[in-house]
Amino acid sequence: MGTDNQTWVSDFILLGLSSDWDAQVSLFVLFLVMYMVTMLGNCLIVLLIRLDSRLHTPMYFFLTNLSLVDVSYATSIVPQLLAHFLAEHKAISLQSCAAQLFFSLALGGIEFVLLAVMAYDRYVAVCDPLRYSAIMHGALCAKLAITSWVSGSINSLMHTTITFQLPMCTNKFIDHIFCEILALIRLACVDTSSNEVTIIVSSIVLLMTPLCLVLLSYIRIISTILKIQSREGRRKAFHTCASHLTVVALCYGMAIFTYIHPSSPSVLQEKLISLFYAILTPMLNPMIYSLRNKEVKGAWKKLLWKFSGLTSKLAT
């Protein structure tokens, strides 16, 4: 194809979920409520950890990072999605599309590495509890968190750069809810097999490698738990990992289904998976850690008790 026909587009049109106005209004209300719950839940988790000194531990340091990632990921996608539900012309500029792709990929990658780091933290807590404080010291926790953020950002920068070097010709209709990498690659008017291979390779490095580390950690954790003599001891040890294990299953499962085999999911499945990551997972994570974690529930009760006492004093 000649270069004269490879016209670079200046903006894109997002086709979204539905063209029916009533459906779009209903979805706007639903996703707005879910987004508000997501923001409130994660911000409260961060605030709770900040205020309660008992939660100033490596586990909750990483949970703070996870909440910040969830809030940022949802914010990179949902506000634009909500605006487009009520807009007649659902356009997004090339620059905004590139920024959205970068942040969504970066934050997704950060979360996968961060979950592996949290699994290592649980491994040390269960398998080597006497040396936990010595191993998981502040400097190591900071380095592990920085590694998560840097690795996800570098991977995203690479994919964003090579994706937007593809000539899109006159294709400007993205059949998706946001500027997602697979949807953008489908617009290119050149062979994109190298891009698809790059996605698979980076998925193995940034998705499967952390997943293998998570599985290895939990194999060791389960082996250690089974050696505990008392039933109460086994229950308590497993309970410390249950919340993290639930989040791991939610996050890694959908990502493997989407990116290890890029041609497998249908367009509708891709949209639903993106909604899952953008809205449902960030909303569920603080709930999972609040409902299944005794320390967090205890901190909530303590904070509410203090708040109610302060309210009573102000009322009198």
Distance separating alpha carbons of residues 110 and 107, to the nearest angstrom: 5
pLDDT digits (tens, 9 = 90+) for 62-98: 999 999 999 999 999 999 999 999 888 888 988 999 9
The pLDDT of residue 242: 75
Angle at 114 (CA atoms; ends 110, 117), nearest 5 degrees:
150
pLDDT digits (tens, 9 = 90+) for 235-262: 777 777 777 777 888 788 777 766 665 5
What mean pLDDT do residues 201-226 have? 87
Instruction: Kindly report whether the global pTM for this prediction surpasses the value 0.75.
Output: yes
Q: How far is residue 290 from each of residues 41, 161, 312, measured CA to CA in Å?
A: 10, 39, 26
pLDDT digits (tens, 9 = 90+) for 106-135: 999 999 999 999 999 989 988 888 999 999
Higher pLDDT, 220 or 310: 220
Statement: residue 29 has pLDDT above 90 = yes
**CATH dotted code for 15-308:** 1.20.1070.10
The pLDDT of residue 1: 41
Report residue 3's pLDDT band, with 50, 70 and 90 as the boundaries.
very low
The pLDDT of residue 6: 47
Statement: residue 205 has pLDDT above 70 = yes
Statement: residue 56 has pLDDT above 60 = yes
Torsion, Cα of 288, 294, 299, 300 (10° steps): 50
The pLDDT of residue 226: 83
Higher pLDDT, 162 or 88: 162
The pLDDT of residue 316: 57
Report residue 2's pLDDT band, with 50, 70 and 90 as the boundaries.
very low
Statement: residue 4 has pLDDT above 50 = no
The pLDDT of residue 310: 57
What mean pLDDT do residues 46-69 have? 88
Strands laid side by side in the 91-93 sheet: 91-93, 11-14, 173-174
What is the greatest pairwise CA distance in the chain? 80
pLDDT digits (tens, 9 = 90+) for 286-313: 887 776 666 676 666 676 666 665 565 5
224: nearest Cα among 147, 134, 128: 128
Statement: residue 30 has pLDDT above 90 = yes
